[in-house]
Amino acid sequence: MKTQVAIVGGGPSGLLLSQLLHTRGIDSIVLERRTQAYVLGRIRAGVLEQGLVRLLEEAGCADRLHAEGIPHDGTCIASDGEIFRIDFRALTGTPVMVYGQTEVTRDLYAAREAAGGRILYEVDDVTILGADTDRPEIAFTQNGEPQRIQCDFVAGCDGFHGVSRRTIPEDVRREYEKLYPFGWLGILSETSPVDHELIYSSSERGFALCSMRNAHLSRYYIQCPLTDKPEDWSDEAFWEELRRRIPEEAARNLVTGPSIEKSIAPLRSFVSEPMRWGRLFLCGDAAHIVPPTGAKGLNTAASDVHYLFEGLARYYRSGDTEGIDGYSEKALARIWKAERFSWWMTALLHRFPGQSDFDRRLQRAELDFLRSNASAQKAMAENYVGLPY
Ligand code: RFL
Ligand code: PHB
């Protein structure tokens, strides 16, 4: 097989890149290790920055997003029972959009299928060959049959556990990592959300987040020890703990019901540099991870895709390599700011094992400053709605 851009990974990064390239007549093949149903079964991000909304519009995949997505003009932060609001629209002129990653991915799959895009599912043993030459190739197996793709470029969009990042030699790659001593236990339930906006809640018992997918589908998270397993938590125990971590007025509005998904995600900050090696370009979780507190994972994947798409489009239009040559540096400059913001939100709102009284007082002082200081709120809002790209 031959293509211009071989894309490893059929998650949101890979699909969005493939669809954007298609709008400029650039051919790609997407290789996905799982089935489409498996990818759509993963419940992940829920908050989209305007930058991603614009990219989905450019990709011709935003009709349902505009019909069903819920613009949020602000978010609530609760600290020890008191709630205050950060008004994104007043502070930045920009809202965020609540629309699930599952729906984004579903829309992208539909668009790729409608355009006759090639997506190969259930591929195994993907190996990227000759990424540091002018003729990269991808070797893989499908249904036990060995296959090869010759291409001009490889986009590594295969997530944190993929093969792309590890294709870059260890003496070229530099990795930065921070692990947090807790995870997030999340549930999805077919109940109406507790509020019309998200509530990030810092409490003595640990962090909790009230989020949603739509008016009838709620998403809630609570901070939990890394040793916990989802099966340790009955639905009743989850609701009880959530109720104790959110302010009373929110707890009064909490509608409970059976969970339709329950999972635990560890929290991690991670960046791998550079994001380009020869003709291999990393995008999204393949190159970096943020703790979910700032809602930045999918959104940073989107800005990577934007920079790479612009670089590749420029190359195919005029042979000019400036865009692809500057890719890693441009993408990383934005990534590190999202890393900082996600780390800050995480440190601000969680209880840390062994946290001293002094550390706790600092957290409270910082929350109090955010509650009462317009400049602090503006800085938070600008980061939350997404730095420009
Ligand atoms: P993905 O989604 O992991 O997709 C990678 C795809 O590559 C496939 N793959 C391979 N394919 C072929 N060969 C191989 N060797 C392969 N290895 C892997 C995988 O099967 C998969 O389909 O990465 P991508 O596309 O970069 O997208 C990144 C986002 O998924 C991620 O950053 C976000 O979900 C993070 N995230 C959030 N981001 C936000 O912007 N806002 C949020 O509100 C938000 N909330 C979250 C989140 C992530 C969470 N979890 C579970 C990690 C909430 C949670 C709980
Ligand atoms: C979600 O709805 O899944 C969600 C929202 C905001 C976050 C993280 C996750 O910061």
Q: Which domains does the chain have, with CATH numbers?
A: 5-70+96-177+269-345 (3.50.50.60), 180-267+351-385 (3.30.9.10)
The dihedral built from the CA positions of residue 19, 21, 27 and 32, taken in this order, carries a sign that is negative
The pLDDT tens digits along the chain (389 residues) read: 999 999 999 999 999 999 999 999 999 999 999 999 999 998 888 999 999 999 999 999 999 999 999 999 999 999 977 999 999 999 999 999 999 999 999 999 999 999 999 999 999 999 999 999 999 999 999 999 999 999 999 999 999 999 999 999 999 999 999 999 999 999 999 999 999 999 999 999 999 999 999 999 999 999 999 999 999 999 999 999 999 999 999 999 999 999 999 999 999 999 999 999 999 999 999 999 999 999 999 999 999 999 999 999 999 999 999 999 999 999 999 999 999 999 999 999 999 999 999 999 999 999 999 999 999 999 999 999 999 99
Known catalytic residues are 72, 200, 292, 296, 384
Q: Identity (one letter) of the amino acid at 200?
A: Y
- Find out whether 108 and 36 touch, Cβ atoms under 8 Å: no
Q: Which of 98, 211, 383 most suits a substitution to test ligand 2, by most atoms within 8 Å of the C-beta?
A: 211
Q: Cα-Cα-Cα-Cα dihedral of 303, 305, 310, 316, to 10°?
A: 170
Q: Identity (one letter) of the amino acid at 80?
A: D
- Find out whether 172 and 223 touch, Cβ atoms under 8 Å: no
**Cβ-Cβ contacts under 8 Å for 83 (sequence gap 6 or more):** 76, 77, 199, 247, 249, 250
Nearest CA to 182 among 373, 347, 3?
Answer: 347
The verdict on pTM exceeding 0.85 is: yes
**How many angstroms separate the CA atoms of 249 and 194, rounded?**
10
Tokens of 258: 């059976």
End-to-end CA distance of the chain: 34
Q: Which of 18, 101, 335 most suits a substitution to test ligand 1, by most atoms within 8 Å of the C-beta?
A: 101
Q: Tell how far the Cα of 356 is from the centroid of ligand 2, in angstroms.
A: 28
State residue 70 phi and psi, 5-degree precision: -115, 110
**How many angstroms separate the CA atoms of 6 and 136, rounded?**
9
Nearest ligand to the CA atom of 30: 1
**How many angstroms separate the CA atoms of 77 and 367, rounded?**
9
Longest dimension (CA), the chain: 63
Residue 219, ligand 2, Cβ within 6 A: yes
State residue 36 phi and psi, 5-degree precision: -60, -40
Distance set, CA 37 to CA 109, 121, 322 (Å): 11, 10, 38
Nearest ligand to the CA atom of 211: 2
Report angle CA 270, 178, 48 to the nearest 5 degrees: 50
